[in-house]
Amino acid sequence: MLTELKREAYEANVALPRHGLINLTFGNASALDRRKGIFAIKPSGVAYDKLSPSDMVLVDLAGKKVEGDLKPSSDAPTHRRLYNGFKKIGGVVHTHSTHATSFAQAGMAIPIFGTTHADYFNGDIPITRKLTSIEIEDSYEWSTGNVIVERFLADDLDPLDFPGVLVNRHGPFSWGPTVAKAVEAAVAMECVAQMALMTLELAPRLKPIEPELLDKHFGRKHGPGAYYGQSKS
């Protein structure tokens, strides 16, 4: 099972540059075995074209490395905080994708203007508060996860309705029930961020999407009334 977990994490990591979400060695992906309480994550600083499934590092939800010759990603504590805070997720992705990161650096949520956005996110993609100087100095990566969880608790947001967030001054994190879904959310977030920037150039005073159109598009893909795609029966 853990060999398969490492393979899933590897496949997610190498998908990130393929989708144009990664420059250099920025970013990482991890996959969780919730039953065992162990996740597999990219090793720190290793180029994506040099990775293999065996390079993935296994870490438990208490933060202990349980397998691997390499150091785990420096963002492993952030992933761990999200797994501990969001009990329904099984994969986390972090990138510095250009358009989503532009919103993060500006300290702005990604506004929802159209149905492409509504297919994946049930409203604006939220932005966290800035980290304090103490949070930056002490346990920075864990604090990054803390401000994400705090943001969702503050507005009672369901992580599966909003499978991504922008960390203020930093960049996007996404997640899903599987790491493959977390990659999909990361791709969608970058796509809608680019569209939002272009839309704001064309129509700076445009209002958000109509609530009924948002509900229709999100609801046809998610929840008990979803009907998009093929039947699983």
Active-site annotation, residues: 119, 228
Two structure tokens written together for 164? 């991504």
CA 110 to centroid of chain Cα atoms? 14
CA distances to 37, 43, 135 from 84, in Å: 10, 21, 19
SS3 32: strand
CA distances to 89, 117, 185 from 161, in Å: 12, 12, 11
Task: Give DSSP secondary structure letters for 88-154.
Answer: T--EEEE---HHHHHHHHHT--B---SHHHHTT-SSSBPBPPPPPHHHHHSSHHHHHHHHHHHHHHH
Query: Which residues does 119 contact at the CB level (< 8 Å), separation at least 6?
Result: 188, 217, 218, 221
**Cα–Cα–Cα angle for 74, 67, 13, nearest 5°?**
50
Whether 125 contacts 189, CB under 8 Å: yes
